[in-house]
Amino acid sequence: MLLPCLTAMVCCCCYDGCPAYGTAQVVLKNITRLCATKPIVTVNGKFPGPTLLAREDDTVIVRVVNHVEYNITIHWHGVRQFRTGWADGPAYITQCPIQPGQSYIYNFTITGQRGTLLWHAHITWLRATVHGAIVILPKRGVPYPFPKPDKEEIIVFGYTLHVETGKTYMLRIINAAVNDELFFKIAGHNLTIVEVDATYTKPFKTDTLFIAPGQTTNALLTADQTTGKYLIAISPFMDTVVAVDNLTATGALRAVANINNISFVMPTTALLQAHYYNISGIFTDDFPGNPAIPYNYTGNPPSNLQTMNGTKVYRVAFNSTVQVVLQGTAFLAPESHPIHLHGFNFYAIGKGVGNFDPVNDPKKFNLVDPVERNTIGIPTGGWSAIRFRADNPGVWFLHCHLEVHTTWGLKMAFVVDNGKGPNETILPPPTDLPMC
Ligand SMILES: *[C@@H]1O[C@H](CO)[C@@H](O)[C@H](O)[C@H]1NC(C)=O
Ligand SMILES: *[C@@H]1O[C@H](CO)[C@@H](O)[C@H](O)[C@H]1NC(C)=O
Ligand SMILES: *[C@@H]1O[C@H](CO)[C@@H](O)[C@H](O)[C@H]1NC(C)=O
Ligand SMILES: *[C@@H]1O[C@H](CO)[C@@H](O)[C@H](O)[C@H]1NC(C)=O
Ligand SMILES: *[C@@H]1O[C@H](CO)[C@@H](O)[C@H](O)[C@H]1NC(C)=O
Ligand SMILES: *[C@@H]1O[C@H](CO)[C@@H](O)[C@H](O)[C@H]1NC(C)=O
Ligand SMILES: *[C@@H]1O[C@H](CO)[C@@H](O)[C@H](O)[C@H]1NC(C)=O
Ligand SMILES: *[C@@H]1O[C@H](CO)[C@@H](O)[C@H](O)[C@H]1NC(C)=O
Ligand SMILES: *[C@@H]1O[C@H](CO)[C@@H](O)[C@H](O)[C@H]1NC(C)=O
Ligand SMILES: *[C@@H]1O[C@H](CO)[C@@H](O)[C@H](O)[C@H]1NC(C)=O
Ligand SMILES: *[C@@H]1O[C@H](CO)[C@@H](O)[C@H](O)[C@H]1NC(C)=O
């Protein structure tokens, strides 16, 4: 039986494997902050948006209806999207935008993932207000691999948690901010991390969490202090509410950022369509595997700050193993970058400060029990190394999850070719795929 779903974006699934249906009406809503009322873009008039509640193996079907005057797309951040790149959401990468008055059905199956993720708009800066939680429960009858919590809470921002002594709470913590990394701490308590980015971890204790935009964490809190209210303040989040009148102005700020000296130029036709239909002239697959001119990345920047501009992708064969070393640079100012890869989870096998040393650093890689995730922070003035298996054919975006850096060009894409087996090719596009 399916429950009718009027206000929530998606209902909880009613039996195993059934589709979770929902409608996301993209509408304006007036909100008041600091005594000023501003219209913001929302899903179903809610801010933060409704939670998508599903179970592992569910097919999720969400019809997004655009009632506002802005183009929109929705990204299901961290959902693997096996063969269903059409439902991934980044504008001009896997789909053209849903234009005002149009609708599009996102149709995908959640395979091999459970935990907390987030959904958000993936076009200009709209995700500042168009975002919400994704909660994926384990398959029915399958328990958590840690003691069952007494209560679960979703924490998207500034929040008061009422706790009772002796009870264990599972906090589903989401950083949906556009540009702010955040620290999360509950006075007098340790947290036990049990899951990040919808994969279980070896449980470990910490008193402070650091979460970059786009990252999610499930943490157990055992209330061993007095019963009462604990304020969990994640203040930077509120600063990111961008009223719609400011979107154009903010989005138009321009500086140049690049990866391997390529500043990515957004195409006007979605790359996945160009790839699937063999349309030439939209992208080239000559994204360089290494910087052309090596220099001291964390030292003084080169005097020539010119970059190359282009819509270049890096092509890999199906089932290749891919290692990426994400090296921070000191251009402008050294900053940390949370890098998000679409279509895959990767293993975070190493990180360090300064320049990556290709001879000595790999010896220190953790190839035994690295954490698996979809968004990784590059330390300020340092590097992170990740590995993934290219087992998902399609076009997959890799970009900085600080929206300001993405806007500047800190992004690129992988094309993963089809394999030969029956489940190794991209599914055909849905008939309602938006056109540019
Ligand atoms: C927001 O408030 C303005 C001014 O009161 C009003 O004109 C507008 O219709 C409201 N918009 C929405 C979406 O409620
Ligand atoms: C969702 O995708 C599946 C597999 O491609 C297809 O059979 C089904 O009809 C689609 N459902 C909707 C509502 O588009
Ligand atoms: C948190 O864990 C640390 C290390 O295990 C321990 O020293 C500290 O006392 C713990 N704090 C609380 C409040 O339990
Ligand atoms: C946003 O626009 C309002 C006027 O519409 C202006 O007062 C405010 O300073 C702008 N904020 C930013 C961050 O540009
Ligand atoms: C695109 O080219 C590939 C390889 O040449 C071919 O197998 C495929 O059928 C073509 N696709 C379309 C839609 O023409
Ligand atoms: C790179 O620059 C940093 C900062 O100036 C310096 O500490 C480091 O020694 C330099 N590395 C090399 C290999 O020159
Ligand atoms: C980047 O490309 C530009 C334009 O070709 C070139 O002038 C510059 O030297 C390159 N810089 C680096 C660090 O590769
Ligand atoms: C790349 O684009 C930037 C910004 O539009 C421009 O300043 C720069 O000259 C371009 N570089 C090349 C090599 O065309
Ligand atoms: C992918 O490669 C691994 C070994 O590198 C192999 O075990 C596996 O069977 C391959 N999978 C497919 C679908 O080809
Ligand atoms: C292809 O995928 C379907 C659905 O996940 C599965 O039932 C089937 O066994 C797979 N076929 C092969 C040859 O792996
Ligand atoms: C919306 O998307 C269409 C198709 O790419 C594009 O032609 C149009 O300029 C976009 N509108 C805005 C306001 O960006």
Closest CA relative to residue 41, chosen from 156, 130, 103: 130
pLDDT band at 240 (very low <50, low <70, confident <90, very high): very low
pTM, full prediction: 0.88
Could you tell me the CA-to-CA distances from 136 to 63, 75, 88, 227 in Å, in that order?
A: 19, 16, 17, 29
pLDDT band (50, 70, 90) for residue 417: very high
Which tokens in the block code for residue 324? 């990426």
Cβ–Cβ under 8 Å, residues 398 and 360? no
Share of the chain above pLDDT 70, in %: 83
Phi, psi of 209 (to 5 degrees): -110, 145
Mutate to test the pocket of ligand 5, among 278, 420, 433 (most ligand atoms within 8 A of CB): 278
277 touches ligand 5 (CB under 6 Å): yes
What is the band of 2 on the pLDDT scale with cuts at 50, 70, 90? very low
Give the ligand 5 atom nearest the CA of 277.
13
Residue type, 201: T
Within 10 A of 1 (CB to CB), how many other CB atoms are there?
Answer: 5
Residue 85 C-alpha to ligand 11 middle, in angstroms?
21
| Ligand 6 atom nearest to CA at 299 | 2
Q: φ, ψ for residue 86 (rounded to 5)?
A: -60, -20
- Please determine, for residue 178, whether its predicted confidence score (pLDDT) is greater than 80: no
- What's the average model confidence in pLDDT over 297-324? 90
Task: Select from 176, 76, 66 the least CA-distant residue to 127.
Answer: 176
Q: Decide: residue 325, CB within 10 A, 0-12 exposed, 13-18 middle, 19+ buried.
A: middle
Q: Any idea how long the chain is?
A: 436
Query: Residue with structure tokens 């010119």?
Result: 306
Reference 326, options 352, 302, 303, 305; nearest CA is 352
Residue of the CA atom closest to atom 12 of ligand 8? 308
Q: Three-state DSSP class for 406?
A: helix
Percentage above 90 pLDDT, the chain: 54
Distance CA 206, CA 204 (A): 7
* Ligand 3 centroid, distance to 204 Cα (angstroms): 12
So what's the pLDDT on residue 3?
Answer: 34
Across 161-175, 220-234, 355-369, the highest mean pLDDT is recorded for 355-369
Quote the CA–CA distance of 47 and 193 in Å, as a whole number: 27
Is residue 243 pLDDT above 70, yes or no? no
Q: How far is the CA of 195 from the centre of ligand 2 (A)?
A: 30
Note the ligand closest to the C-alpha atom of 246: 4
Residue predicted with more confidence, 7 or 423: 423
Give the mean model confidence (pLDDT) for residues 43-68: 91
Q: Ligand 10, residue 111: give the atom nearest the CA.
A: 5
Q: Which residue has the tokens 């009422």?
A: 162
* Gap from CA of 242 to ligand 7 centroid (Å): 35
Q: What letters, b where the CB count within 10 A reaches 16 and e where it falls short, cover 394-429?
A: bbbbbbbbbbbbbbbbbbbbbbbbeeeeeebebbeb
Ligand 9 contact via 319 beta carbon (within 6 Å): yes
> Candidates 34, 40, 246: which one to mutate for ligand 4, based on the most atoms within 8 Å of Cβ?
246
pLDDT tens string 98-134: 999 999 999 999 999 999 999 999 998 788 889 999 9
Residue 295, number of CB atoms within 10 A of its CB: 12
Cβ contact 91:141 at 8 Å: no
Taking alpha carbons only, the member of 254, 248, 230, 250 closest to residue 239 is 250
Q: Residue 361 is encoded by which pair of tokens?
A: 């650093």
- Ligand 4 atom nearest the C-alpha of 249 is 14
Q: Tell me, what's the pLDDT at 251?
A: 34
